[in-house]
Chains A and B, each alone.
Chain A
Amino acid sequence: MVEAVVQNLVFGILLGALYGLAAVGIAMVFGVTKLLNVAHGELLMFGGYASFWLFKLLDLDPFLSLPLTIIFLLLIGAVLYQLLFVRMVKMPEEEKIKNTMLVGFGLTLILSNTALLLWTADDRSITTSYSGAAFTILGIRFPYVRVAGLVISLICLFALQQFLRRTYTGKAIRATVEDWEAASAVGIDVHKVYLLSFLIGTALAGVAGAMVSVSFTIEPAMGMHWTLKSLIVMVLGGVGNFMGTFVGGILLGATESATAFFISGNYRQVVGLVLFLLILIFRPQGLFGAKGGKQ
C-alpha cells in the first residue's frame, strides 16, 4: 500500500515537473512583457512534433535533438513575435492582456488546425530503445525518460536563473520588469528585451513539448490542456518567482495523482482546479510570491 502511494506520488511529481517547465515559459513571457500568450500550449505541441519527426524521419534521439527542436521553436517564436505580438507590447496593460488573449485564441485555431492537417489527429509518442526502461529504488520504479524530463527541467530552470542573475542581458531583463521606462532611459533596448523574453518562453515550451512526446503522447488538440495547466501553475506559484512556479507545477502534479489514487481518476483535474481557485482567492500573490506583491 505504502509503496503504491509513493509510486503514485513519484509519477505525479515527474509529470508535475513538465507542468512546471511549461509554466515557467508562459510566466517568463507574462512576467516581462505582460503578454499573456494563450497559444503557449500550441507552441509546446509544435515542440513535441518537432522532436517526434526528427526521431521518426532522421532517427535522431529526442534528447540529442533538443537543440534542433529549440532552434525550430525560436524561429516560430521570432516570426510570431515580429508579426503579431510586437504590435501589442506598447499597449496599456488592460488592453494588452485583452488583445494578446484574442490574438492567442486566433493563433490557437491556426496552429492546432495546421497540425491536424499536416499530421492527422492520431496520438503520437516517441518510442526509443530505452523508453520502457526504469531503475528501481526500494521497490519504486523510476522510468529513465521521465526522470530525464525532471533533470532537464531543472537544468533549464537553473540556467535561466543564472542567466537572469549573472549576465548583463539578464540584468537588463530584470531592470525592464522593474520599470521599463527607467530601463529605457538608461539605454536598455526594451524592445530587444521583450523579444528575447518571448523567445526564451517559446524555447522552454519547445523543450517541454519534446519531453512530453518522450514520456507521454502528443496530438494536435493538446494545446488547450497545456495552456490551462501552465496558467494555473503560473498563478499557483506566483508570477515573478520561477522557482516558485516550478514547485507549483510539481505540487499540481502530485495533487492530481493523489486525487486519482485516493478519490477517482475522473476528478484529478477538478481537485487541482479547486486548489488553484482557493489559492487564487486567499493568496493572490501565489504560494511563493512576495507578500504584498503587485497582482
Chain B
Amino acid sequence: MKILRPISIVLIIIILAYLPQVIEKDSTINLLILVFLYISLASSWNILGGYTGQTSLGHAAFFGLGALAARMLWIQGFPILPSILAGGLLAVAFALLIGAPAFRLKGVYFVIGTLALAQILSVTVSNLFPTITSIPVEDLVAYQLAPRYYLFLGLACFIVGAAYLLANSRLGLGMMAVREEEDAAESLGISALRHKLLALGFSAFFTGLAGGAFAYYHVSYYYQMPFTPIWSLDMLTMVYIGGQGTILGPIVGAVFFVGLKEFLVRNLGEYHLIVFGVLFILVVLFLPGGIISVWNKIQNALARRSISNAVKLSPEEER
C-alpha cells in the first residue's frame, strides 16, 4: 500500500505534464495554469496560516512584491528564472522586515495588522507605479502558453513538495507545537518567535515565487493588481475550504475554488459571485474542518466498520 502513494503522485504529474500535447483549447490550459497558481498560493499560505496557526491577510504583499521584482527584471531583459527567484527573495526580505513587529500581535489583531500592512504597500505601489505593465511587443510575439504551463506545474509541485518536507521535519513539528499551545511550546525550549519567523519566511518566499511566475504569465496588468487584498482573501479561503494544516487541503481547496468559480461563471453569468458566496458560507458552516475532513470521516467510518467486522468474527467475542 505504501508504495502506491508515490506511484500515483508520479502518475498524476506525468499526466498533467502530458496534457498540453492533447488539449488544443487555450482556455483549458489557462484554467489549469490558474489551478496551479492557486495551489501554489494556498500551499504557501498554509505554511504560516495552517501549520503555524498565524492567520495572515497580508500575503498579497508578498505576491505583489514577487510579481513586481520579477516583472521589472524580466522586462529589462533578465532571464526569467533568476527574475522569479529575485521576486521570491524580495518577498522574504519584506517578510523578515515586518515579521518581528507583526508577531507582537495576536489573534484578530494579527489578522487586521497584516491586512493593514498589505494595504499600505498596495496604495504605495499604486502611487509609485500608477501605470499598466505590458509585455513588450517583441516578447509578445514570442509569447507561448506551454512554457508558462510547465513553469506553473513545476512551481506547484515544488511548493507542495517543500511544504510536505517542511511539515514532516523537526522544524514543522515545532511550528505545529507553536500553533497548538505557544506557552507549552516555549516551555519545551521551542522558540515561538523563531518558528513563526521561519514559517513566515518560507511562506513569503513561495508566495513571492508564485508572484514572479504570475508576472511571467500575465500579458498586461496594473502594477498594483497583484497587491490587492483579494489575493490574501482567496488564499485564506482556499486553505480553509480545503482543510488547513494539511498537505492535501490547499490542493483540494484550490481545485474546488477555481473549478466552482469557473463553473458558476459559465452557467450563471452575473449571478455567479452571489451563488459562490452562498456555497462558500455553506461549506464553512457545515464542513468546519474543510473538504478534506469529509474524506477523513469516511476513512474513519470505514476503518471502524472493518474493525467491528473483525471483532464480530473473532471467536473470543462469540463466547
- The complex places the Cα of A25 from the Cα of B253 at a distance, in Å, of 33
Interface size on B (CB < 8 Å)? Answer: 37
- The complex places the Cα of A64 from the Cα of B158 at a distance, in Å, of 61
- The complex places the Cα of A228 from the Cα of B288 at a distance, in Å, of 26
Q: Is A212 an interface residue (CB 8 A)?
A: no
- The complex places the Cα of A270 from the Cα of B224 at a distance, in Å, of 14
Nearest A residue (CB) for B55:
A98
- Which residues of A are found within 8 Å of B169, using beta-carbon distances? none
- The complex places the Cα of A224 from the Cα of B116 at a distance, in Å, of 12
- Which residues of B are found within 8 Å of A224, using beta-carbon distances? 229
List residues 95-117 of chain B with CB under 8 A from any CB of chain A: 101, 104-109, 111-113, 115-117
Q: Is A107 an interface residue (CB 8 A)?
A: yes
- The complex places the Cα of A270 from the Cα of B117 at a distance, in Å, of 9
- The complex places the Cα of A105 from the Cα of B276 at a distance, in Å, of 11
Q: Is B36 an interface residue (CB 8 A)?
A: no
* B273 adjacent to A113 (CB under 8 Å): yes
Q: Provide the A99-123 mask, 1 if CB < 8 A to any CB of B, else 0.
A: 1011101111110011001000000
- Which residues of B are found within 8 Å of A266, using beta-carbon distances? 123, 126-127
What is the minimal beta-carbon distance from A271 to any residue of chain B, in angstroms? 9
Q: Is B280 an interface residue (CB 8 A)?
A: yes
- Which residues of A are found within 8 Å of B115, using beta-carbon distances? 228, 231
Q: Is A216 an interface residue (CB 8 A)?
A: no
- The complex places the Cα of A267 from the Cα of B281 at a distance, in Å, of 35
- The complex places the Cα of A106 from the Cα of B236 at a distance, in Å, of 12
* A106 adjacent to B281 (CB under 8 Å): yes
Q: Is B240 an interface residue (CB 8 A)?
A: yes
Q: Is B271 an interface residue (CB 8 A)?
A: yes
Q: Is A94 an interface residue (CB 8 A)?
A: yes
* A109 adjacent to B116 (CB under 8 Å): no
Nearest A residue (CB) for B228:
A224
- The complex places the Cα of A95 from the Cα of B107 at a distance, in Å, of 10
* A117 adjacent to B270 (CB under 8 Å): yes
* A106 adjacent to B124 (CB under 8 Å): no
List residues 84-106 of chain A with CB under 8 A from any CB of chain B: 84, 87, 93-95, 97-99, 101-103, 105-106
* B109 adjacent to A228 (CB under 8 Å): no
* A105 adjacent to B233 (CB under 8 Å): yes
- The complex places the Cα of A273 from the Cα of B284 at a distance, in Å, of 30
* A101 adjacent to B277 (CB under 8 Å): no
List residues 213-227 of chain A with CB under 8 A from any CB of chain B: 224
Q: Is A295 an interface residue (CB 8 A)?
A: yes
Q: Is A175 an interface residue (CB 8 A)?
A: no
What is the minimal beta-carbon distance from B319 to any residue of chain A, in angstroms? 45
- Which residues of A are found within 8 Å of B293, using beta-carbon distances? none
Question: Could you say which of A4-12, A147-155, A157-165, A277-285 contacts chain B?
Answer: A277-285
- The complex places the Cα of A103 from the Cα of B233 at a distance, in Å, of 12
* B276 adjacent to A101 (CB under 8 Å): no
* A106 adjacent to B116 (CB under 8 Å): no
Q: Is B137 an interface residue (CB 8 A)?
A: no
- Which residues of B are found within 8 Å of A269, using beta-carbon distances? 119, 123
Which of A97, A110, A117, A280 touches B105 (beta carbons < 8 Å)? Answer: A280
* B113 adjacent to A270 (CB under 8 Å): no
* A107 adjacent to B277 (CB under 8 Å): yes
Q: Is A232 an interface residue (CB 8 A)?
A: yes
Q: Is A235 an interface residue (CB 8 A)?
A: yes
What is the minimal beta-carbon distance from A137 to any residue of chain B, in angstroms? 34
* A114 adjacent to B274 (CB under 8 Å): yes
- Which residues of A are found within 8 Å of B278, using beta-carbon distances? 106, 110
* A110 adjacent to B107 (CB under 8 Å): no
Q: Is B120 an interface residue (CB 8 A)?
A: yes
Which of B55, B104, B127, B271 touches A117 (beta carbons < 8 Å)? Answer: B271
* A102 adjacent to B237 (CB under 8 Å): yes
- The complex places the Cα of A32 from the Cα of B240 at a distance, in Å, of 26
* A267 adjacent to B123 (CB under 8 Å): yes
* A87 adjacent to B116 (CB under 8 Å): no
What is the minimal beta-carbon distance from A247 to any residue of chain B, in angstroms? 19
- The complex places the Cα of A294 from the Cα of B44 at a distance, in Å, of 32
Nearest A residue (CB) for B108:
A97
Q: Is B285 an interface residue (CB 8 A)?
A: yes
Nearest A residue (CB) for B53:
A94
- Which residues of A are found within 8 Å of B106, using beta-carbon distances? 295
Using a CB–CB cutoff of 8 Å, the interface residues on chain A facing chain B are 36, 84, 87, 93-95, 97-99, 101-103, 105-110, 113-114, 117, 224, 228, 231-232, 235, 264, 266-267, 269-270, 273-274, 276-277, 280-281, 284, 295
Using a CB–CB cutoff of 8 Å, the interface residues on chain B facing chain A are 55, 101, 104-109, 111-113, 115-117, 119-120, 123-124, 126-127, 229, 233, 236-237, 240, 270-271, 273-274, 276-278, 280-281, 284-285, 288
